């Protein structure tokens, strides 16, 4: 059985398991990130939905970073744009849901094309810095609260009577929003699979490996790089829409800070760049650990530990950073790289045994 087919089977099984999780009332102590150690508790489903959102965003980012070799620090611009455009259309302009979604998609597409076209005029570290500049400019724009649209540092809460009842209220509709987040991840996975398995996706990889060779073959890398950037930005904006539905508010420090971009890059690195399942696994693992370590830090029994243990355990971000450093040092290439090395070692053993 071919590896891609195995991947599809594993993905389908994982999706089916995720679909039925809201109906499983199993008590799992010390594993689940929610306050209540029950699989279908509100806290657990909220964290899992957040995992799905950022797994989808990381998967979209990997189209640009892993497959095309473009290190952008501006993905947060498109994520925040999806959050705020959708929130403003519903909350302040009182548009119907379909019109708000259509407007968000149109603006997200235009923004991806324009920012991508400008940023891709340069390459390498210059490209990275230009995308970072765009992201920082957008952060300060929404923080400045232009025309009272964004709420500034106080944020903009999502409120609209135009939302269907099953999407209105993150607490009362936890299951519905969980399935919306899962649906976003599944659709993103299908889109990324189609793109990366197509002839265009193969050109993405060729550009990453040797852009000059692609030019020699008569192709124009700029158009393909812009396509990769646009696909990634659209997925990030869609993730922003699902995020604001799930969280219920838009705050600049949560959706537009540079630290969020770095977190998305870390997600891809943890899972393994240029690996679809790696990006998804890295996104889920990062958000899960982030939320779980907050629970660990609040554990009252740690108060009796010596200071050299108590202080690090009370700092979730310190622990998350330490885990990332360990991964970089001992698991190069992320989870996907580790699995590839295991397969190669197994193949070498089989060849040695056959001689």
Predicted confidence at residue 255, as pLDDT, reads: 96
4 band by pLDDT with thresholds 50, 70 and 90: low
3-state secondary structure of 156: strand
Q: Which residues contact 246 (CB under 8 A, 6 or more apart)?
A: 46, 49, 50, 53, 170, 177, 180, 181
Report which secondary-structure segment, H or E, holds 34.
Answer: none
1 band by pLDDT with thresholds 50, 70 and 90: very low
- Least Cα distance to 203 among 276, 195, 58 occurs for 195
What predicted TM-score, i.e. pTM, was given to this entire model? 0.93
pLDDT tens track for 187-215: 999 999 999 999 999 999 999 999 999 99
Using a pLDDT cut of 90, give the percent of the chain over it. Answer: 67
Report which secondary-structure segment, H or E, holds 157.
Answer: strand 156-157
pLDDT tens track for 47-72: 999 999 999 999 999 999 999 999 99
Q: Where are the domains of the chain?
A: 43-354
Predicted confidence at residue 348, as pLDDT, reads: 85
pLDDT tens track for 231-281: 999 999 999 999 999 999 999 999 999 999 999 999 999 999 989 999 999
Length of the chain: 355
The Cα 227–Cα 112 span in angstroms is 9
| Helix, strand, coil share of the chain (percent; to 5) | 75, 0, 25
Q: Which residues contact 187 (CB under 8 A, 6 or more apart)?
A: none
43-354 has CATH 1.10.3470 classification: yes
């Amino acid at each position: 059985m071919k590896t891609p087919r195995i991947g599809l089977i594993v993905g389908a099984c994982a999706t089916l398991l995720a679909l039925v999780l809201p109906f499983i009332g199993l008590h799992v102590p010390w594993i689940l990130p929610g306050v209540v150690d029950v699989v279908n508790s509100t806290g657990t489903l909220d964290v899992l939905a957040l995992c799905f959102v950022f797994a989808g965003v990381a998967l979209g980012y990997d189209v640009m970073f892993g497959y095309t070799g473009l290190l952008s620090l501006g993905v947060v611009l498109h994520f925040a744009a999806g959050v705020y455009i959708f929130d403003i259309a519903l909350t302040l302009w009182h548009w119907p849901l379909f019109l708000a979604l259509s407007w968000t998609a149109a603006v997200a597409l235009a923004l991806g094309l324009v920012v991508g076209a400008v940023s891709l005029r340069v390459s390498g570290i210059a490209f990275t810095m230009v995308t970072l500049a765009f992201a920082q400019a957008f952060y300060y724009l929404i923080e400045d609260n232009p025309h009272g649209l964004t709420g500034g540092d106080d944020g903009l809460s999502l409120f609209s009577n135009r939302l269907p009842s099953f999407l209105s209220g993150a607490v009362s509709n936890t299951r519905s929003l969980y399935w919306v987040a899962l649906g976003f991840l599944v659709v993103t996975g299908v889109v990324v699979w189609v793109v990366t398995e197509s002839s265009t996706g193969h050109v993405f990889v060729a550009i990453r490996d040797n852009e000059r060779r692609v030019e020699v073959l008569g192709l124009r890398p700029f158009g393909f790089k812009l396509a990769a950037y646009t696909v990634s930005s659209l997925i990030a904006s869609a993730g922003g829409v699902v995020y604001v539905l799930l969280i219920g508010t838009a705050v600049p420090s949560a959706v537009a800070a540079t630290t969020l971009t770095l977190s998305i890059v870390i997600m891809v690195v943890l899972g393994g760049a240029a690996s679809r399942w790696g990006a998804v696994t890295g996104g889920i693992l990062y958000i899960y650990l982030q939320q779980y370590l907050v629970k660990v830090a609040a554990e009252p029994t740690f108060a009796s530990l010596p200071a050299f243990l108590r202080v690090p355990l009370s700092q979730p971000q310190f622990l998350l950073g330490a885990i990332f450093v360990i991964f970089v040092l001992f698991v190069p290439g992320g989870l996907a790289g580790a699995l590839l090395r295991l397969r190669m070692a197994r193949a070498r053993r089989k060849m040695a045994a056959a001689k």
